[in-house]
Structure 1
Amino acid sequence: MELILTIMIGLIGGIAVGTQTPIAGAMSQRIGGAASSFIVHLGGLVASGVLLISRRGENIDQWRELPWYMLCSGGLGLVLFLTVSHTIPKLGAVSGITLIIVGQLIAGLVIDYFGAFPRDIEINKLIGLALLLGGAYMIIR
């Protein structure tokens, strides 16, 4: 049951990204990439603040103990957002989201191999990635 719940949460996250991406791309076309990024991240700040308050602050007081790169990870959200605002209008939602997903999977493989909890890269994962790259090529061309 826990696995099914985890899979459902992952799918919900994917649906959220897949829904936000074309909306953000359209907003970027109207008001610019930096302006729309600011609006999206401000909305995320408000939503995160409400969630944090509802969870009684969790362990927010320990933020000073985090490594610098964790404190800078919000910049990656900006990179994602600006990527979306560039690719979606030029390639369409399906192609733009495909590129983002393939990029996430490549990053996941690298993180799995070199990250804090290293895992061997199995041949079936490499074959799956190759198939995804082939599928991405077919979608984009």
Structure 2
Amino acid sequence: MLYIILAFAAGCLVILSMIINSHLAKRIGVFQGTFINYIVGLLFTVIVLLFRNNAINLSFNNLSQIPFWAYLGGLIGVIVVAISNVIIPKIPTIYSTLLIFLGQLFTGIIIDSFTGNLISKGKLIGGFLIIAGLVYNFNVDKKHLIENE
């Protein structure tokens, strides 16, 4: 149950982070906002490590044993923050949230198919229901905009 609560909290924080970062990016620029995001994250991580009294063991020998692809998470994170900084101000938060979720869902399904994990019909049906709901809601919103003009 704890992990479900933590996953829900992480999802909430991701959306809040995206909104806050996009407002920063509007003021100082997309990549400058992304840079500040990662600098603040780095400082927070250093503070947490210092207070936890964990040894920071980053020897070249340890780092060189990690496969190259494992370092791509940071690169992908920067790309995600930069893209979010661009899209959040352009489309309503609910749409960007659902579109990002759909991207995560279908990417997870694709990764599961390559790694031999079971892909349930429910996940596919759920993803397509979310797409149908988005299209329906978009059309309703568009109709209201036209009526209000």
Q: What TM-score do the two structures reach when normalised by structure 2?
A: 0.81
- 1:67-82 → structure 2 map (5 Å cutoff): 67-82=67-82
Change (3 A) 1:88 1:140: farther
Larger Rg: 2
Aligned partner of 2:127 among 122, 126, 129 = 129
Change (3 A) 1:59 1:132: farther
Aligned partner of 2:118 among 91, 112, 120 = 120
Match of 1:88 in 2: 88
Instruction: Determine whether 1:24 maps to 2:21.
Output: yes
- Report how far residue 92 of structure 1 moved: 2.2
- Report how far residue 73 of structure 1 moved: 1.6
Q: Read off the aligned partner of 1:79 and give its amino acid letter.
A: I
Q: SS at the partner of 1:7? A: helix
Match of 1:49 in 2: 46
Moved over 3 A (4+): 57-61, 138-141
- Report how far residue 12 of structure 1 moved: 0.8
Q: Counterparts of 2:81 and 2:33 in 1: how far apart (Å)?
A: 9
Q: Read off the aligned partner of 1:18 and give its amino acid letter.
A: I
Deviates further, 120-129 or 47-56: 47-56
